[in-house]
Structure 1
């Protein structure tokens, strides 16, 4: 189901009602008062208006609906990405104020213990609080991602694993563990935020006003749908296929139907790709290609580091700056203990020119790269100020 409009609270509540979320929860849990956990995307201290984090109004609409239906044990949980504190994200995104105003407990999963779970043959560590929930409502942002192409329901569960496991996911190549994670941590309902997502970068900065919320019970199907809206073939995002093979859902869009809710709150049934959405794609496919990636040699980098770097490089490239022919910028855990010319982050500390930080902030990256790019033709020395 897709809701289009500007009243995010009403849109979220309307989608929950149309999906009969109350019946879904009671049928799934078999309890009078199950513990319902909401998991937004609060990757860092970035306001939702930047296109990276979940709008708190979406969560408020869900909570309002749940309480009207008599559910009382409602909690919120999340962990920001490596390098940022969840407390800071709560403050900047408004989720801290929301939880306080609505009296909803918040669990910072950065401070939680973890349990090793067999996820369809892959042993993964999952935060205990996430596993203890009777029903998980996923509140991802449907947006672009500079490493995986897109992120929505499946990848948002990465916020339910400890920081050490997040780093291991990147060493494993992201797609395999993300796909398997869906088998060990079940999400009962997904409400994806497509109000103003950044369609290229996961950490925002280029929001596109779409004014949409999308809900589903199948995370694989939802991610496949979002792929189409981002101009991607689901086959370009391997974790969708892997999650499907692990039994998390189906990516068969031709068998799917879409219900559209307009601002007048009338609904319309439509088969997928038959006028289901007035916008065929949320971005032009040509926008997906980032030539700046050709400047980078990435080996198992974390999202926080790589996701900060790519927009900076994109900005500098637009200004006409580039490295000397054959010169590559190295980033990622795979460069630990190795030497090279120029690198970003603590993992490249052995390089001749390395910007320290885990991760370095965007301003530091820009200063460092401006100096290095400007010096490429002049063969200057290294500067890390």
Structure 2
């Protein structure tokens, strides 16, 4: 696996999808059999993955099975939930306590760990000893929005490896610089992004958007740049990405990335119960749309709503395989809608590309 590669597998069969990604990336070539491998999910709170906040345990299960079948047995699961949440409860509710028992793995609540002070450019950060002890750290963030930093993905998910004292301090310091500096002090070796469900704009969940993808990459800055585009942002709108790139954590330029898509998502009947998402979906006319494409459109419409311009869209936006080969007036989303007067390319397109097209044509 090259540093500039981003691998994507579409669908909703988490365990199967992640194992297909691993078979493609061959991460075992980078490992020694006795390496201590840390698996770090996002368990910010005690909610199921379908709520849009936490990492699906089936993704981690798929990685565990893949590694154990190849003789890698020195594995541990580590996490420290948000300050106001109990990590042990999250382990139980989110399915990680059972996962650890089933595969005979140690499960470490990092809130109870010893912390080692590390510093970068004068900023001191308390980092969990077990996270620092890992020979190979696999980070399992969730692709989701965030009310303060716009997105949260690979770089920000390492906050689960610091003390509660440090988490509070990060917020006092404005989050962006300390998040970037933390990633200079604690290296993640592989990022596997749970992009099946992820909240629209709040890291604790409640308004999940089904994006139907799992992403694998080695460069956390590059994968966060890609995640930002999927949710409708430039890297300039997520300052910790910019800072992390400046200090050499990774590269932010997506033009340097080699995007490898293993497959395409399938059209499904899409139904959202969230009132917030239903409001955005009123502008959409879907016909056999894929969740990956539809999810990008929802995120783009959310960005437009934040700018106070949602009500200026006075025509339906068409999306879905049902429009393939059909010519129609207005705006179409994705390659299936190439017969529209204006359409955004991609299968699926990013929310950023959709946002640019809608801003140019409808508002």
Ranges of 4+ aligned residues in structure 1 off by more than 4 Å: 277-280, 289-292
1:1-385 to 2 correspondences below 5 Å? 1-24=7-30, 26=31, 31-262=32-263, 281=296, 283-288=298-303
Deviations along 1:178-216, one digit per CA (max 9) or x if unpaired, are 011100000000000011111211111111122210010
Larger radius of gyration: 1
Relative to structure 1, the CA distance from residue 70 to residue 46 in structure 2 (aligned partners, 3 Å threshold; closer, same or farther) is same
C-alpha contact (below 8 Å) 1:229/1:282 kept by paired residues: no
Q: Quote the Cα distance in structure 2 between the aligned partners of 1:56 and 1:280.
A: 22
Q: Which one is further off, 3-12 or 70-79?
A: 3-12
Relative to structure 1, the CA distance from residue 35 to residue 282 in structure 2 (aligned partners, 3 Å threshold; closer, same or farther) is farther
Q: Quote the Cα distance in structure 2 between the aligned partners of 1:135 and 1:282.
A: 36
C-alpha contact (below 8 Å) 2:200/2:299 kept by paired residues: no
Higher strand share: 2
Where relative contact order (Cα < 8 A, 6+ residues apart) is larger, the structure is: 2
RMSD over aligned Cα, in angstroms?
A: 2.0
For residue 286 of structure 1, report the CA deviation from its aligned partner: 3.9
C-alpha contact (below 8 Å) 1:218/1:249 kept by paired residues: yes
Q: Quote the Cα distance in structure 2 between the aligned partners of 1:41 and 1:282.
A: 25
Unaligned runs of 5+ in 1: 265-276, 293-385
For residue 125 of structure 1, report the CA deviation from its aligned partner: 1.0
Q: Quote the Cα distance in structure 1 between the aligned partners of 2:59 and 2:225.
A: 22
C-alpha contact (below 8 Å) 1:231/1:283 kept by paired residues: no
- Provide the TM-score with structure 1 as the length reference: 0.69
Q: Quote the Cα distance in structure 2 between the aligned partners of 1:120 and 1:58.
A: 36
- Provide the TM-score with structure 2 as the length reference: 0.73
For residue 91 of structure 1, report the CA deviation from its aligned partner: 1.3
C-alpha contact (below 8 Å) 1:120/1:246 kept by paired residues: no
SS at match of 1:77: strand
Deviations along 1:30-73, one digit per CA (max 9) or x if unpaired, are x4310000000000111101010000000001111111221010
SS at match of 2:39: strand
C-alpha contact (below 8 Å) 2:211/2:295 kept by paired residues: no
